[in-house]
């Protein structure tokens, strides 16, 4: 019974803390395309491309964002 309760709590915590907006995005950095101190990132799942100033991948999916 304790095991079942633990699994249920773990499942609920995963649902609460999972970020559905970037769940499918797999961002990769390509340092050969960096510009002016900004890091180039490309998502392997949706094909979105962006530059980030902090070197970290975006926190939201950019697949619907306009291409620059």
Give tens-digit pLDDT for 15-35. 776 655 555 788 899 888 888
Could you tell me how far CA 24 lies from the centroid of its own chain? 7
Distance CA 40, CA 53 (A): 9
What pLDDT score was predicted for residue 67?
53
On the 0-12 / 13-18 / 19+ scale of CB atoms within 10 A, 9 is: exposed
Over range 36-48, report the average pLDDT. Answer: 88
What pLDDT score was predicted for residue 59?
80
pLDDT, mean over the chain: 81
Q: Is the pLDDT of residue 65 over 70?
A: no
Over range 43-67, report the average pLDDT. Answer: 80
């Amino acid at each position: 019974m304790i095991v079942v309760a633990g699994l249920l709590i773990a499942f609920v915590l995963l649902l609460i803390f999972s970020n559905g907006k970037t769940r499918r995005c797999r961002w990769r950095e390509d340092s050969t395309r960096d510009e002016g101190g900004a890091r180039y990132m490309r998502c392997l799942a949706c094909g979105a491309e962006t530059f980030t100033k902090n070197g970290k991948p975006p926190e939201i999916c950019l697949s619907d964002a306009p291409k620059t």
